[in-house]
């Protein structure tokens, strides 16, 4: 029977980040995932990207993930938000210290870096293309039986299985959830005018339109697009040719980056919200989308998962140094307290923003623009929103400060 400190169900971005965080501090992790990772690496670029906040990037540096990126990310040096194309916007700058607000990475490069770091780990065991057929979370430990017949044992089980976590459902953990009746269309665009590291978020009643700076390539300046539209309008936009879609996107953004051209296929996915009533159970902890999923309006969903990983790793490493059982109730209670308020606040703020900007009409737009102007003039409030964008609000785990545990 293979023994480790933690068994992680799910070898996606958050699960592998947690494994690397544990490995960097001397704890062992076994990762189980049914997918074939080689298919993910061999696939052509599908246009999917992620924004990694500056605090998540510090964690990547601290636990050795950054060194494995096959290509650099695109720095986000400024964020400009506006209500439609009306004059006036709210701008967040990187500031005098010069650290970008975040970094845009192609998802395939994120997966490659995290997998390479896991394979280089001294205390990480990877079980790909296999599933758990039986899980026993008993009083004295966790035993997992794989479909190969192999048995694994650890003091703690972590679910990083994503939104449809079977482990969460089996534990009887209830969800608050709803659908936004919207769909996000994502892809990559080439544009004539350089983006200068600026991310744009343009709010329309039908949904936000985000343009996020990517690194240039041989074709010229590139930006990722995340366009949230109603389910009713989605089929029409998805049915357009690439040239037609680029023209629609150019009109939506007012043409301020010049002519556009598509560089990757369009992908789409439904938008919804869910938040687990609790993120722990007997010898079980939830991280990432298994615990919460938020509207992509502020690009915080993946970074919340990285914050979960950083906090849980710190709780477990500090508990191990005290000689505690890693599945001990008091350790799990500490993780629950630490993450619950932060995730709930981000979830409610993103949901509130989406609903606020979905209200149509000139009066609502005027009120929103007045509010944006006030935020721009109230330094403490603007600084708080800047901290949210960087992922540095609240009680920050050591790894997110760039410090070892």
Going by C-beta distance under 8 Å and a sequence separation of 6 or more, which residues neighbour residue 361? Answer: none
Whether 292 is in a domain gets the answer yes
Whether 344 is in a domain gets the answer yes
Q: Give how far the C-alpha of residue 203 lies from the chain's centroid of Cα atoms, to the nearest Å.
A: 21
Whether 116 is in a domain gets the answer yes
Instruction: Output the CA–CA distances (angstroms, integers) from residue 48 to 44, 162, 217, 238, 268, in the order listed.
Output: 11, 17, 16, 15, 10
Whether 123 is in a domain gets the answer yes
Whether 196 is in a domain gets the answer no
pLDDT of 21 reads: 98
Give the integer Cα–Cα distance in Å for 179 and 272: 4
pLDDT of 381 reads: 46
Whether 241 is in a domain gets the answer no
CA angle 267, 272, 275 (to 5 degrees): 135
Whether 225 is in a domain gets the answer no
- Residue 107 pairs in a beta bridge with none
- Do 183 and 270 form a contact (C-beta atoms < 8 A)? yes
Give the integer Cα–Cα distance in Å for 12 and 28: 18
Give the integer Cα–Cα distance in Å for 323 and 139: 18
Whether 10 is in a domain gets the answer yes
pLDDT of 61 reads: 97
Query: Largest alpha-carbon pair distance within the chain?
Result: 66
One DSSP character per residue, 137-148 reads EETTEEEEEETT
Domain count for the chain = 1
pLDDT of 38 reads: 83
Token couple for 285: 């902890």
CA angle 86, 92, 93 (to 5 degrees): 130
Q: What's the CATH number where 10 sits?
A: 3.50.50.60
pLDDT tens-digit map of 161-183: 999 999 999 999 999 888 888 89
- Do 19 and 7 form a contact (C-beta atoms < 8 A)? no
Q: Give how far the C-alpha of residue 401 lies from the chain's centroid of Cα atoms, to the nearest Å.
A: 18
Token couple for 127: 């079980």
Q: pLDDT digit of tens for each residue in the chain (405 aa)? A: 899 999 999 999 999 999 999 999 999 999 999 998 887 666 566 778 999 999 999 999 999 999 999 999 999 999 888 888 776 667 878 765 678 989 999 999 999 999 999 999 999 999 999 999 999 999 999 999 999 999 999 999 999 999 999 999 999 999 988 888 889 999 999 999 999 999 998 888 888 899 999 999 888 999 999 999 999 999 999 999 999 999 999 999 989 999 999 999 998 989 888 899 999 999 999 999 999 988 776 567 899 999 999 999 999 999 999 999 999 999 999 999 999 888 777 766 666 555 555 555 565 555 555 455 554 555 554 455 555 555 565 679 999 999 999
Range of the domain at 13: 2-176+272-401
pLDDT of 203 reads: 83
Going by C-beta distance under 8 Å and a sequence separation of 6 or more, which residues neighbour residue 13? Answer: 50, 107, 110, 111, 114, 288, 302, 305
- Do 84 and 202 form a contact (C-beta atoms < 8 A)? yes
The phi and psi torsions of 345 (rounded to 5 degrees) equal -65, -45
């Amino acid at each position: 029977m293979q023994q480790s400190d933690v068994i992680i169900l799910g070898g996606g971005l958050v699960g592998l980040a947690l494994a690397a965080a544990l490995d960097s501090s001397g704890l062992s992790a076994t990762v189980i995932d049914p997918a074939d990772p080689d298919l993910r690496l061999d696939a052509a670029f599908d246009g999917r990207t992620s924004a990694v906040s500056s605090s998540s990037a510090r964690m990547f540096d601290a636990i050795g993930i950054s060194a494995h990126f096959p290509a650099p990310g695109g720095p986000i040096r400024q964020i400009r938000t506006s209500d439609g194309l009306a004059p006036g916007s709210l701008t967040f700058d990187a500031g005098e210290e010069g650290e970008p607000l975040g970094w845009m990475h192609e998802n395939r490069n994120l997966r490659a870096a995290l997998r390479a770091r896991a394979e280089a780990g001294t205390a990480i065991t990877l079980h790909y293309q296999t599933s758990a057929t039986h899980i026993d979370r008993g009083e004295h430990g966790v035993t997992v039986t794989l479909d190969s017949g192999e048995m694994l044992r650890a003091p703690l089980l972590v679910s990083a299985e994503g939104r449809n976590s079977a482990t969460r459902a089996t534990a009887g953990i209830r969800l608050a959830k709803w659908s936004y009746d919207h769909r996000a269309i994502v892809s990559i665009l080439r544009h004539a005018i350089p983006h200068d590291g600026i991310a744009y978020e343009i709010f329309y009643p039908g949904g936000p339109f985000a343009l996020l700076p990517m690194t240039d390539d041989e074709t010229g300046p590139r930006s990722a697009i995340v366009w949230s539209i109603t389910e009713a309008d989605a089929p029409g936009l998805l049915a357009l040719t690439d040239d037609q879609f680029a023209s629609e996107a150019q009109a939506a953004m007012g043409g301020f980056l010049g002519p556009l051209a598509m560089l990757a296929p369009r992908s789409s996915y439904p938008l919804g919200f869910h938040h687990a009533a609790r993120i722990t159970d007997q010898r079980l902890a939830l991280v990432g989308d298994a615990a919460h999923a938020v509207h992509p309006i502020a690009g915080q969903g993946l970074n919340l998962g990285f914050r979960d990983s950083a906090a849980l790793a710190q709780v477990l490493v500090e508990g191990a140094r005290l000689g505690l059982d890693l599945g001990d109730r008091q350790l799990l209670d500490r993780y629950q307290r630490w993450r619950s308020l932060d995730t709930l606040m981000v979830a409610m703020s993103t949901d509130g923003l989406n609903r606020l900007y979905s209200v149509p009409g000139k009066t609502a737009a005027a009120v929103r623009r007045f509010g944006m102007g006030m935020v721009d003039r109230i330094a403490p409030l603007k600084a708080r929103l800047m901290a949210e964008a960087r992922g540095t609000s609240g009680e920050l785990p050591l790894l997110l400060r760039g410090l070892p545990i």
